[in-house]
A and B are shown apart, each in its own frame.
Chain A
Amino acid sequence: MMALFIVGLSLGLAMKFELLAPGKTIMGAQDYNATFTLHGIIMIFLIVVPGLPAVFGNFFLPILIGAKDVAFPKLNLLSWWIYIVGATIAISSQFFGDGPPDTGWTFYAPYSFKTGTNMLPAVLGAFVLGFSSIVTGLNFIVTIHRLRCPGMGWFKMPLFVWSLYGTAWIQLLATPIVGITLVMVILERTLNIGFFDPALGGDPILYQHLFWIYSHPAVYIMILPAMGVISEIIPTFSQKHIFGYKAIIISTMAIAFVGYFVWGHHMFTSGMSGTALYTFSLLTFLVAIPSAIKVFNWVATLHKASINLKTPLYWALAFMFVFMVGGLSGMALGALATDVYLHDTAFVVGHFHYIVFGGTGFAFLGAMHYWFPKMYGRMYDAQWANTGLVIMFIGFNALYAPMFYLGMIGMPRRYFDYLPQFHAANILSTMGSWVMATGFFIVLINLIRSSRNGAPAEVDPWHGKTLEWTVPSPPPVLNFDEIPTLGEDDGPYEYK
């Protein structure tokens, strides 16, 4: 997965390099289209959607609820193999057939069945990956229902577990829709059925609806676990009970639920009735409320706490900053009048990178620095970790903030070329990409080195109160010798 991420990152860097100057810099239109398609497929389907649940969920979910393993270990292994197969199929699209796919990760019809490029493996790969996602979600739901240790009531579960629970339901209920949609594209390409082909009576707009019915909830698959991680890190380093424990749970479930009904905000310019436009816009604003509730709760937890300033907390703070910028820019896109203007501009690219990379990506790195001692039994070098973080944070903002500006002055997304007036901001953005990559590699190399020769970690280096801090670092294969029992006063955040 790390290797895939680095490939995806390099593709991103290549695109930014292309945009260093107007006109052709290192690649032409077709190559640029292929690059952003592969970048999107890798980052969304292979990294961000499965990332946190697969890496940290599988490892920590059982420990956090006091179980020896997930409910279906074999199914878990199966999900991993399906992932490998899906990834292989999707990436094979690059190497044979009539050239790499060029539709973008959204596979919009009718282009996705008209283009001569090698779409089939890409679409099929995404379908198979969806399967893997469903299986993981199913496994997590059953695990949480069946395997909580004695005393671990629903409202004693750590918030990361709650966020995985909400995520798992979305995975289960939304992924089949995109599955069937992708199958329809495949049938369309191979058998000429006409679902989305206006020449045969089909409707390409239907594709967009079906796609976003999944893909908007999917953005919550990406962000909910990230919010869960932050909800673990903040109380641990504030040494204090999290503020509004139940409010965070309710907001998680509210996001999971309302998130189903806002997909239309991706289609404000596609042609919908006025009523539909207003409804989707209103619901989009509603779904932002629970996200804001969480931010307020985190801030309130930090308020007057005895804060233990360590690397994971820095990541959490960085997360909160970029998440707020991303969320507020989402408001600009969720409002009809502004979106008609901003749709398909660099502004949208800025928005979702702030949330997906800044949000989920930073939360992933935060989780890495939080749980690293537990997973590897070693500490990392905090100095280097913090240096990398600062450089990455600066680079990140230099890279994506100009995109808001560029979008506002009218630069469209997904073009390899641009008008001269967009030049200055693009230079800044491209240089930002170099700074950010540098920071990232510092962070990464530090972690890799520390996993080999860092100082041995204690059982509970951060004074955490959740169950993973009661087992040895790294945990034994079956986590606990004896299934733990939670007493009345024990709980995930019971600081005295």
Chain B
Amino acid sequence: MTDIHLHRDDEASKIGMWLFIFTELLLFGGLFIAYSIYRFKNPVAFHMAAEELDLSVGLINTIILLTSSATLAMAYTAVQLGKIGTSKILTSATIILAIVFLINKYFEWGAKFEHNLYPGSDYLMELSQGEILFFGLYFAMTGLHALHIIIGLILMFVVLSRLQNKTMTSDNNQLLENSGLYWHLVDIIWIFLFPLFYLIT
């Protein structure tokens, strides 16, 4: 470990990012396993519980995330072409979309809390075991996903500040590419969460 600068290796950091994405998929994988086992054991209760979720909120959030993936990919293309200004706008757009996603999530969770539906609540404890598990998984998985959104947001703010102070350029933009990869991961996980919780009723 030295402060002498070794040569920059973009390829290496990209491989590194891909490996990290594998680990993230496996992290969620554990919860997906739990989901499938408990769904298999409690098909009816999972069905009933899923009806409680608001399909339209889920759908809106899906569209938001997909759009944000596109804007961030475009931001990367823009920076490669040297269009720093466009890249800044597109990154900011992604940030705004991500924040809107979180606001939606906040209201969605808020509504659940209002109906006394949260892990450990008296009301939930009176429901059937399958429903308890469904909501437990719902909060754990969407919660973990939201945490990843927040991490992605932080990354994008760093990208934005680098674009701002011109340390990110058309030939030094690895951070933006990696943030893009990470953001697609967040997106893909949502693409699985959405049907599992909202659509299969």
Contacts and interface: CB of A to CB of B under 8 A. Distances in A.
Nearest to A203: B37
A194 B132 contact: yes
Interface in B1-52: 1-2, 4, 6, 9, 11-13, 15-16, 19-20, 22-24, 26-31, 33-34, 37-38, 41-42
Contacts of A139: 16
B21 to A, nearest CB: 11
B6 A69 contact: yes
A73 B1 contact: yes
B26 A173 contact: yes
A134 interface: yes
B152 interface: no
Interface stretch (A175-183, A234-242, A317-325, A452-460): A175-183
A193 B19 CA distance: 31
A282 interface: no
A71 interface: yes
B157 interface: no
Given A146-B9, A177-B29, A141 B132 contact: no
Contacts of A141: 15, 19
B2 A477 contact: yes
B23 A210 contact: no
A201 interface: yes
Nearest to A192: B120
Interface string A71-100: 111111100000000000000000000000
B133 A69 contact: no
Interface string B117-128: 001100001001
Contacts of A477: 2, 4
A194 B133 contact: yes
B140 to A, nearest CB: 6
A68 interface: yes
- Most chain A beta-carbon neighbours within 10 Å: one of B1, B23, B38, B140: B23
A181 B32 CA distance: 12
A3 interface: no
Contacts of B125: 200
Nearest to B45: A201
Interface string B68-103: 000000000000000000000000000000000000
B107 interface: no
B11 A146 contact: yes
A175 B12 CA distance: 22
A292 interface: no
Interface residues of A, number: 40
Max count, chain A CB within 10 A of own CB: residue among B16, B20, B22, B137: B16
A69 B33 CA distance: 39
Nearest to A202: B133
A373 B37 CA distance: 54
Contact of A69 (B2, B28, B42): B2
Contacts of B29: 176-177, 180
Contacts of A206: 34, 37
B167 interface: no
Contact of B42 (A134, A201, A478): A201
A49 B76 CA distance: 39
B105 to A, nearest CB: 17
B139 interface: yes
Contacts of B58: none
A176 B1 contact: no
A68 B1 CA distance: 10
B15 A146 contact: yes
B140 A193 contact: yes
A160 B18 CA distance: 25
Given A194-B132, A195-B34, A210-B33, A173 B15 contact: no
Interface string B137-151: 101100010000000
Contacts of A71: 9, 12, 16
Instruction: Tell me the dominant secondary structure on chain B's binding face.
Output: helix
A69 B13 CA distance: 15
B130 interface: yes
B129 interface: yes
Given A73-B1, A73-B2, A478-B2, A172 B22 contact: yes
B133 A68 contact: no
A68 B7 CA distance: 11
Nearest to B15: A142
Given A142-B12, A180-B31, A187 B2 contact: no
A195 B136 contact: yes
Pick the most buried of B120, B136, B139: most chain A CB atoms within 10 A of its CB.
Answer: B136
B129 A180 contact: no
A180 B27 contact: yes
Contacts of B130: 201
A471 to B, nearest CB: 16
A192 B119 contact: yes
Given A69-B1, A134-B23, A210 B30 contact: yes
B117 to A, nearest CB: 13
A193 B23 contact: no
B9 A184 contact: no
A200 B133 contact: yes
A145 interface: yes
Given A77-B1, A138-B20, A187-B140, A176 B15 contact: no
A167 to B, nearest CB: 14
A200 B1 contact: no
Interface in A200-214: 200-203, 206, 210
Contacts of A419: none
B47 to A, nearest CB: 15
Contacts of A175: 23
A138 B19 contact: yes
29 contacts: A68-B6, A69-B1, A69-B2, A71-B9, A72-B16, A73-B1, A75-B16, A76-B1, A142-B15, A145-B15, A173-B23, A173-B26, A175-B23, A176-B23, A176-B26, A176-B27, A179-B30, A184-B34, A187-B136, A193-B139, A194-B133, A195-B133, A195-B137, A195-B140, A200-B129, A201-B42, A201-B129, A201-B132, A210-B34
Interface of B: 1-2, 4, 6, 9, 11-13, 15-16, 19-20, 22-24, 26-31, 33-34, 37-38, 41-42, 119-120, 125, 128-130, 132-133, 136-137, 139-140, 144
Which 4 residue pairs are nearest across A and B when measured between Cβ atoms? A201-B129, A180-B30, A193-B136, A176-B26
